[in-house]
Structure 1
């Protein structure tokens, strides 16, 4: 059994959140795709984390702990909303009138086209620098599952970038 640790005070909590804010936004954006939805999810996650900060056993594990809360909030939002299509986003994916063979798909565009589970894993690993263990904790999956998703994500990115 662990010994109860001192609860983060408001200032220490804010310092930790500020250190993670960009990672939180990019993670939420990778799942939800819309800036507004990502901002809402981050805000809800911060409020939830602050209210339950006494459940954090080790302050050194703050980042994966709050990312886990955030991913849960993001998936809650996904379940609540109806599927809609953003016409501006789809315009980029429709074939253009003039075929330009020099135009290449950027890596980030390719990442955004991955499935949700692959996109989040790739974003956390390559863009946010989280370890396989931290990603597993944040997403609530095993390290083996993280490695599998990274492998599948890399393979899918290779195919997408070769197509273009």
Structure 2
């Protein structure tokens, strides 16, 4: 089977088209904005290097998001051994919460556990199908449906608390 090699201009056009999707997917997994930027940049470089592996150009978005998700998980694995002092500082000090401040839906999504957050972000913000999410996250479609159901229930709880 001969694979079609995507030229640089087409690749760049696709990257610009899906830039916000990549950042949202990365943000749903990683908490640090600098890590999100690094992961997206690394994923773009990796996708460019392996663009010849893409068999169906129509499947560029799920293929690219899968690379972003894998890069984010790799970042998480690397960081497990590192303790960020900024995170410890936040635990030691009690934040001055403003009870009049309403929580936005995106803030509520960011409060979800990572596994639920990734599925919810891909489904609702990126309009991916359950099958595409299963492929991107490398889980079964049943697991995607379960995570979406649990994510919606958790979001209702979070939003009703505020």
Compute the TM-score of the two structures, normalised by the length of structure 1.
0.87
CA shift, 1:54, in A, is 1.3
Which secondary structure state, in structure 1, belongs to the residue aligned with residue 2 of structure 2? coil
Q: Aligned to 1:117, what secondary structure does the other structure show? A: helix
What does the per-residue CA deviation read over 1:73-126, in whole Å, with 9 as the maximum and x for residues that have no partner? 101111111243646x959xx5637x73x4432211111110001111111111
Structure 1 partner of 2:96: 96
Structure 2 unaligned blocks of 5 or more: none
Using the alignment, how far apart are the partners of 1:154 and 1:20 within structure 2? 25
**CA 1:37–1:110 in structure 2 vs 1: closer, same or farther (change >3 Å)?**
same
The whole-number CA distance in structure 2 between the counterparts of 1:60 and 1:21 is 17
Shift of 1:151: 0.3
Q: Is 2:120 aligned against 1:126?
A: no
For 2:151 and 2:85, locate their aligned partners in 1 and report how far apart those are by CA, in whole Å: 23
User: Following TM superposition, by how much is the alpha carbon of 1:154 offset from its aligned partner in structure 2, in angstroms?
Assistant: 0.3
Question: What is the count of residue pairs matched by the alignment?
Answer: 158
CA distance in 2, matches of 1:144, 1:85: 38
Aligned partner of 1:117 in structure 2 is 115
Pair 1:56-2:54 in alignment: yes
Q: Choose which of 132, 151, 154 in structure 1 pairs with 2:152.
A: 154
The answer to whether the Cα contact below 8 Å between 2:108 and 2:158 also exists between their aligned partners in 1 is: yes
SS in 1 for 2:18: helix
Considering only aligned residues, what root-mean-square deviation do their CA atoms show, in Å? 2.2
- In structure 1, what is the Cα distance between the partners aligned to 2:90 and 2:107? 12
Partner SS, residue 24 of structure 1: helix
Corresponding position of 1:142: 140
Unaligned 5+ segments in structure 1 are none
Partners of 1:152 and 1:86 in 2: how far apart? 30
Q: Distance in 2 between matches of 1:11 and 1:120?
A: 29
